[in-house]
Amino acid sequence: MQEAIILVGGKGTRLRPLTNHTPKPLLGVAGSSFIRHQIAKLMHAGVEHVVFATSYLAGLFEAEFKDFSQDLEISYAVEDVPLGTGGAIRNAGRLLRGGAPDAPVLVLNGDILSGVDLRALLAHHEDRAADVTLHLTRVTDPRAFGLVPTDEAGRVLSFLEKPKTAEECVTDQINAGCYVFRRSVLDAIPADREVSVEQETFPQLVAAGRRVFGHTTADYWRDLGTPLAFVRGSADLVTGRATSPLVGRPAEALIHPTAEVDPTARVTGGSTIGPHAVIGAHAVVDHSIIGGNVSVGAGARIHGSVVDHDSTIGGESTLREVVVGCHTHIGAQNELPAQLRLSCGLRIPARAVRITATAAACPTVH
């Protein structure tokens, strides 16, 4: 029986306020919660049992899957206090069914959108009789990542901190957040404290001469941990740049059948429009995620943004790379620039925030 562990216990601080009430893996991308895309991919690869390593808002995972009737067994390993990525893997290992010490166990970060062929990754691991096999991906600018150089046979040489100089960029390969562990190696991770698999477990295995291999591919790969990456990943699934068994044919937008989009509005760039959302006349929604029950007023322009459920965007307002929490009201004719995050429940009056000057009369008595 092929088994997998998905790490879903992180707080997702970089995606706040979206993650204030919803764990990152349960946020909607391209019409489904992200974790459902991962589950579909795992089932496609022949996985029959998945253990969710949960901590933050753990109960919401059980609620999401309580009616899950497909051919996959799901278990929940709940951490009362977060154990870090390594501790979480070890803790989830208690619930694996296959007891053989050499059994390969797939481990996935719960926030990576990846086109890697999981069967090929497993085969790579078996062929090399590896202790651990890491999926590695290549990046154009390695300075933002820890690097993972390998020898010609693909054996991992070291795990390097983020490079500070060009000379330190000895490779463009980085850890892609998806691994195969030999079961006995997983069981040897300490169980009584917080452990980082990236900073502790993997470097120690390499230093001890264990068989740690990289499987480097050019497949689609994106870490959805930041707001911009999150909207881009969703848009890529809709437009077909990234694939998921849950998304149909490539399209310009994914509009829920209960949403109302005015015929003069334009919804483009892989945008997703949630259930019962209303998009007004001449509004433009590009490269964005619009949640359920959101109302977008006439002439509003939304680009590269996430608007969480039950919020209102006033007519002729402009949002560029903005994150709007749930139940938020943005009045008409506001201009919200990049990197703004609006807390849940916030109310912004009409014409309150602008970048360009306005001739609107000053309502204050001087």
Binding site for ligand GTP (CB under 6 A): 7-14, 24, 53-55, 79, 82-85, 88, 109-111, 225
Report the nearest approach of ligand GTP to the CB of residue 26 (Å).
11
DSSP β-bridge partners for residue 286: 268, 303
Question: Tokens in use for 298?
Answer: 């006439």
Comparing CB distances to ligand GTP, the nearer of 75 and 268 is 75
Report the nearest approach of ligand GTP to the CB of residue 213 (Å).
21
Comparing CB distances to ligand GTP, the nearer of 83 and 324 is 83
Report the nearest approach of ligand GTP to the CB of residue 176 (Å).
12
The Cα–Cα gap between 358 and 366 comes to 19
The Cα–Cα gap between 11 and 85 comes to 12
Comparing CB distances to ligand GTP, the nearer of 178 and 296 is 178
Comparing CB distances to ligand GTP, the nearer of 237 and 253 is 237
* Three-class secondary structure of residue 205 per DSSP: helix
Report the nearest approach of ligand GTP to the CB of residue 101 (Å).
23
Residues in the chain, overall count? 366
The sign of the dihedral angle between the CA atoms of 249, 112, 208, 142 is positive
Comparing CB distances to ligand GTP, the nearer of 88 and 324 is 88
Comparing CB distances to ligand GTP, the nearer of 177 and 214 is 177
Q: Please provide residue 18's backbone torsions phi and psi, each rounded to the nearest 5 degrees.
A: -60, -35
Report the nearest approach of ligand GTP to the CB of residue 105 (Å).
15
Comparing CB distances to ligand GTP, the nearer of 109 and 293 is 109
Question: Tokens in use for 363?
Answer: 């309502």
Report the nearest approach of ligand GTP to the CB of residue 91 (Å).
8
In what side-by-side order are the strands of the sheet with 335-336?
Answer: 266-268, 284-286, 301-303, 318-320, 335-336
* Three-class secondary structure of residue 18 per DSSP: helix
The Cα–Cα gap between 98 and 171 comes to 36
Kind plus residue range of the DSSP H or E element containing 107: strand 104-109
Report the nearest approach of ligand GTP to the CB of residue 18 (Å).
11
Nearest to 61 by CA among 109, 110, 23: 23
Cis peptide before 190 (omega within 30 of 0): no
Comparing CB distances to ligand GTP, the nearer of 40 and 353 is 40
Report the nearest approach of ligand GTP to the CB of residue 301 (Å).
28
Comparing CB distances to ligand GTP, the nearer of 24 and 41 is 24
Q: Are strands 47-54 and 112-114 parallel, antiparallel or unpaired?
A: unpaired
| Alpha helices by DSSP H, 182-279 | 183-187, 202-207, 227-239
Comparing CB distances to ligand GTP, the nearer of 277 and 289 is 289
| Alpha helices by DSSP H, the chain | 34-44, 59-64, 84-93, 118-127, 183-187, 202-207, 227-239
Report the nearest approach of ligand GTP to the CB of residue 305 (Å).
18
Report the nearest approach of ligand GTP to the CB of residue 225 (Å).
5
Q: Please provide residue 16's backbone torsions phi and psi, each rounded to the nearest 5 degrees.
A: -65, 145
The Cα–Cα gap between 170 and 161 comes to 11
The Cα–Cα gap between 16 and 54 comes to 18
